Amino acid sequence: MAAVQDGPMELDTEKETKPEILSDGSANLSGNAGSGVLSSSPHAAGAQKPEDQQTLIAVLQFLRRNKLTESVDILKREAGLSDDQENSKATDTGGKGDGDAGDANALLSRVSITSATAPQSAPLPLKSGDDQPDVRVVLSAYSQQGEPPLYKVYYSDLKKFIESVLDCHRAELSQLFYPLFVHMYLELVYNNNESEARAFFDKFSGDQECYYQDDLRVLCGLTKKEHMKGNETLLDFRTSRFVLRISRDSYQLLKRHLQERQNNQIWNIIQEHLYIDIFDGMPRSKSQIDSMSGSLAGEAKREVNKVKVYYGLLKEPEIEVPLDDEDDEAENEEGKPKKKKAKKDSLGSKSKKQDPNAPQQNRIPLPELKDSDKLDKIMYMKESTKRIRLSPENLPSICFYTFLNAYQGLTAVDFTDDSSLLAGGFSDSTVRVWSVTPKKLRKVKSAAELNLIDKESDDVLERIMDEKTASESKVLYGHGGPVYGVSFSPDRNYLLSSSEDGTVRLWSLQTFTCLVGYKGHNYPVWDTQFSPFGYYFVSGGHDRVARLWATDHYQPLRIFAGHLADVTCTRFHPNANYVATGSSDRTVRLWDVLNGNCVRIFTGHKGPIHSLAFSPNGKFLASGATDGRVLLWDIGHGLMIGELKGHTDTIYSLRFSRDGEILASGSMDNTVRLWDAMKAFDDIEMDDFTAATGHIHLYDNSQELLLGSYNSKSTSVIHLHFTRRNLLLAAGMYNSQ
Amino acid sequence: MASPKTLPKDAQVMVQILKDMGITEYEPRVINQMLEFTYRYVTTIIEDAKIYSTHAKKSTVDADDIRLAIQCRVDQSFTSPPPRDFLLEVARQKNITPLPLIKPYTGPRLPPDRYCLTAPNYRLKSLQKKVSSSAGRITVPRLSVGPVSSRPSTPTLGTPSVQTVGTKVGTPVSLTGQRFTVQIPQAASVKSATPTTPTVQNVLINPSLIGSKNILITTNMVSQNSSSDSTSLKRKHGDEDDYDAL
């Protein structure tokens, strides 16, 4: 382990051999080895285990930084550390694992810091071998990398270098600018160098990509350390590592350049705050990079998107559908022997074998089908036989429900699956339910009246309903703030609403009263949705997590934590095993309901995501954001497969038609656009390279895929819904100005 | 709308701030709201700082007092969501437990009554004259005040018998309870093919002297078909048989 002290070259080669496994965090030492004396510390392999020693050194650095010198002495004496050992910089293992800790310690023993040159020996944040999140946070305060006024110099140097490389590498290396800029700026602010921070910002903020302008504006207002404390998103940005995908050649160039120099502060920052995911192959072009970047955490590491996802649909239960019964259908129970031959309808799934991409039926517990559910399914099948087949030549008709006199207060809309009820959530904290069909809304009679009815009569289900108060719409009061999400249950018995007051409320649609208030998010809940089978629902809010609830548990069953900013949109996959969440950190994540793991991360949007839609076959996901683009994702491979440009404002609603041929998108620019989804998904060619690296070259075929754009009269489109027969319903609020 | 030239200086500053933060479209009243907020916030901070400085027996308010005032206000009013590592830890703990199995045939799946909003939040005053016989000494049905049974489908709770309000029982005054028959619409029902049984809810209200739960609800939910005896639900006062049967 404590071998001969060769120069930095040996360290380089050792790093070279395992670049894939180690993150660049462990390569930290080479930078410091380049300058200064190499003294071997053979007593590094002392009595203690490597991990303990590192922790010890971390604690010592912490104490020293807080000027607890006496404690430092006592601890040093008791731990038996000599000055040399204690002065050697610990490695930044980057939290990779035990194997790396071992390696890193080997390197540690061969390198000492250049403690003589004071400015550079500022204590680096030391991370222990395993990446406990709390230790990282405690120790990962921004350290001072060199003199503050020199930050400008370092940055301009890097800029000059990157501008001088070959074209093919330049695009990739330019990805570095933004994260470096933000981290350096935050570092200056954190260490109370306000004037230098401002100068740094003024000089270099103009160079950043246009799609980071919103972030830069937030940064601009952040000039003191106290400002940072309240901003959770920035704190998360500080502690998480920005992921960059760079090809091996470009990476070698960069590394060589940075290690040649005397002041390689940039290299240190890269070690600490960036994660460079190296791939073999051609460097990416600017357009490829632009399409995938934009999120607050960089791109997604390739391993993240390799987890197996069961995107197939669950098998439909077999229900006997009696033939020819148009009227008395509802009264017949399932399984009753019929006079006519019953047709077994299995919704087209002829094969009996399990789809390999579909989850097991019992992977997550689902409620059993009640008789009423079976009747619903029969109705569904009958309606679907009357469905119109849509195609580019056969576009759907659009029926628009405009909310008038809502005083700009409409914030959420939902339709039931059979399109019979419509719910609207408003900023005055009310929820209104309308009946879309001529049938009025009735609630159940009060208990006194219920006693008086004849319980044995055949139409008792109608008799329990109160005719006197039947009305077209009913108002539900109860929330304490604007209602940002509404969702009907599939059996039309319940309605969920989520609000700025931090609660999600369950309302009964039989009595039109509130049943439960689910408290868990203590901050505004931006969206909620029932699962396709009822019973479970998901909610996402300002506290950056999405929660999975069941109606009979007052606490959430699953917490999906990982986003860096608010969760603005939550949707269930058609098989109810996965939940997709879109967030203000401009990523879309797919979570597994079974164990709460994040199985996919999709980056590429340049603004907060406000709408998500799964295709009916479960394979694809569409997402729309404030940047006006709709992105299409292949869930199985974890890749972006399409980009639909055309909208000019935030896209608040996305919906696939019932058979998945058409994608409808509605936006704040008062238009509904129809896109050819069939064609968009057919055009994917998947070869080994793209599957391995995830780099697709997207063609700009938005114009060909656009089937129609329909304007409304100054009414932004908040919700879209395809009826069972493929009529498109849209809902929005009229803006008078 | 006043043109920028005639707006007061504060308002002009506010317009500039909004522009710097990238907000380009807003209603004119937003400026007024922001100015009011600013005034209230600054006043509160300065008042708090004055209190702290007099507490520290200083003659003037200095920067430390202001800093302390701001910090206290931030912890009180402008809380921020929990940090990421905390959320990850909580999530890890929550996600380890497997998803609970779903019991079949349970009717409306709601949390225990304590967590629902289905309980009545009022009580009716009894009209019976006998109640006024002793001020505060209200006749007591024989009670067993036990823990609340939480599933809506249970018909009754440990009360072994119904007594009319009129019977006197020789228990001390401190154990008082009153049973009222209150007509409350049932909370929720599930559409089922079986005919629904109408329900009456009995409410037993313990005025918390005993320290148990405040409101015990006995409900016979629509979907309950376990005990067919409970179909006769209009509680007459002398109707003790039902309880014994259950």
Residues in A 219-248 with any Cβ partner in B closer than 8 A: 220-221, 226, 229-232, 235-236, 239-240
Give CA separation, A245 vs A175, A277, A403, in Å.
Answer: 9, 5, 46
Q: Which residues contact A246 (CB under 8 A, 6 or more apart)?
A: A172, A173, A175, A254, A276, A277, A278, A279, A283
β-bridge pairing A242-247 and A274-279: parallel
User: Which residues is A247 bridged to in the sheet?
Assistant: A279
d(CA A384, CA A143): 63
CB contact under 8 A, A368 and B109: no
Q: Where are the alpha helices (DSSP H) in A4-123?
A: 8-17, 28-34, 50-65, 69-79, 83-87, 98-110
Does A367 lie at the interface with B, CB-CB under 8 angstroms? yes
Residues of A in contact with B187 (CB under 8 A): 508, 511, 513, 515
Q: For A507-532, give one letter per residue: b (16+ CB within 10 A) or e.
A: bbbbbbbbbbbbebbebbbbbbbbbb
Total residues belonging to chain B: 246
Residues in A 500-519 with any Cβ partner in B closer than 8 A: 506, 508, 510-511, 513-517
CB contact under 8 A, A542 and B112: no
Q: Crossing angle of helices A177-190/A194-204, nearest 10°?
A: 160
Query: How many other CB atoms are found less than 10 A from the CB of residue B48?
Result: 17
| Pick among B94, B97, B118, B219 to test the A interface (most A CBs inside 10 A) | B94
Residue A621 confidence (pLDDT): 96
Q: For A12-38, give one letter per residue: b (16+ CB within 10 A) or e.
A: bebbeeebeebbbbbbbbbbbbbebee
DSSP per-residue codes, B55-72: HTT-SS--HHHHHHHHHH
**Distance (Å) from the C-alpha of residue A274 to the closest C-alpha of chain B?**
18
d(CA A687, CA B141): 80
Cβ–Cβ < 8 Å for A312, A358? yes
Q: Which residue of A has its CA nearest to B77?
A: A230
Residue B161 confidence (pLDDT): 41
Nearest residue to A464 via CA among A446, A444, A481? A444
d(CA A267, CA A30): 10
Residues in A 549-578 with any Cβ partner in B closer than 8 A: 550-554, 556-562, 564
Name the DSSP letter for residue A142: P
Q: Which residue of A has its CA nearest to B20?
A: A217
CB contact under 8 A, A372 and B74: no
| Pick among B102, B105, B183, B202 to test the A interface (most A CBs inside 10 A) | B102
Q: Which residue of B has its CA nearest to A217?
A: B21
CB contact under 8 A, A133 and B78: no
Does A348 lie at the interface with B, CB-CB under 8 angstroms? no
| pLDDT of B147 strictly over 50 | no
Nearest to A516 among B81, B90, B116 (CB): B116
Mean pLDDT per 10-residue section of chain A, whose length is 737 residues? 40 40 38 37 45 71 80 83 50 35 36 33 35 41 66 86 86 87 87 85 85 85 81 82 88 85 76 86 83 84 86 83 49 42 46 78 89 89 91 93 87 94 95 93 86 82 85 93 96 95 95 94 95 95 95 95 94 95 95 94 93 94 95 91 92 94 94 92 64 66 88 92 94 85
Nearest residue to B35 via CA among B12, B11, B19? B11
CB contact under 8 A, B191 and A550: no
- Output the pTM of the full model: 0.72
Q: Where are the alpha helices (DSSP H) in A132-264?
A: 133-139, 150-164, 167-173, 177-190, 194-204, 213-220, 225-229, 232-239, 248-260
Residue A92 confidence (pLDDT): 37
Residues of B in contact with A564 (CB under 8 A): 84
Q: Which residue of B has its CA nearest to A444?
A: B185
Total residues belonging to chain A: 737
The listed range with the strongest mean pLDDT (A174-178, A725-729, B6-10, B102-106) is A725-729
Residue tagged 């709308």 (tokens): B1
The listed range with the strongest mean pLDDT (A669-683, B30-44, B100-114, B194-208) is B30-44
**Distance (Å) from the C-alpha of residue B70 to the closest C-alpha of chain A?**
10
Q: For B73-112, give one letter per residue: b (16+ CB within 10 A) or e.
A: eeeeeeebbbbbbebbeebeebbeeebeebeeebbbbbbe
| pLDDT of B14 strictly over 90 | yes
Residue A576 confidence (pLDDT): 93
CB contact under 8 A, B21 and A217: yes
Position B53, amino acid: S
Residues in B 83-122 with any Cβ partner in A closer than 8 A: 83-85, 87-91, 94-95, 97, 99-102, 104, 106, 108-112, 115-118
Residues of B in contact with A553 (CB under 8 A): 100, 111
Residue B130 confidence (pLDDT): 56
Cβ–Cβ < 8 Å for A383, A725? yes
Q: Which residue of A has its CA nearest to B116?
A: A516
d(CA A241, CA A239): 7
DSSP run (H or E) holding A541 = strand A536-541
Residues of A in contact with B88 (CB under 8 A): 133, 561-562
Residues in A 93-152 with any Cβ partner in B closer than 8 A: 133-134, 136-137
The three-class DSSP label of residue B137 is coil
Nearest residue to B80 via CA among A104, A636, A227, A259? A227
**Distance (Å) from the C-alpha of residue B172 to the closest C-alpha of chain A?**
35
Tokens of A401: 């429900």
DSSP run (H or E) holding A729 = strand A728-734
CB contact under 8 A, A367 and B102: yes
d(CA A360, CA A354): 8
Nearest residue to A645 via CA among A705, A695, A603? A705
Q: Which residue of A has its CA nearest to B26?
A: A737
Q: Output phi, psi for A715, to 5 deg.
A: -125, 115
Count Cα neighbours of A575 within 13 Å in the Cβ-side half-sphere: 27
Residues of B in contact with A550 (CB under 8 A): 100, 102, 109
Residues in A 24-83 with any Cβ partner in B closer than 8 A: none
Does B233 lie at the interface with A, CB-CB under 8 angstroms? yes
DSSP per-residue codes, A370-435: PHHHHHHHHHHHHHHHTPPPPBTTBPPPEEEEEE-S-TT-EEEEEE-TTS-EEEEEETTS-EEEEE
Residue tagged 């022997």 (tokens): A337
* C-alpha A343, offset from chain centre: 44
Q: Which residues contact A590 (CB under 8 A, 6 or more apart)?
A: A309, A573, A578, A579, A580, A598, A599, A600, A601, A602, A621, A635
Does B28 lie at the interface with A, CB-CB under 8 angstroms? no
Q: What percent of chain A lies above the pLDDT cut of 70?
A: 77
CB contact under 8 A, B198 and A451: yes
| Pick among B73, B90, B99 to test the A interface (most A CBs inside 10 A) | B99
**Distance (Å) from the C-alpha of residue B36 to the closest C-alpha of chain A?**
21
CB contact under 8 A, A464 and B196: yes
d(CA B26, CA A160): 42
**Distance (Å) from the C-alpha of residue B103 to the closest C-alpha of chain A?**
8
Give CA separation, B209 vs B88, B135, B168, in Å.
Answer: 43, 16, 19
d(CA A296, CA A242): 8
Residue A321 confidence (pLDDT): 65
End-to-end CA distance of chain B: 73
> Interface pTM (ipTM) of the complex?
0.73
**Distance (Å) from the C-alpha of residue A544 to the closest C-alpha of chain B?**
8
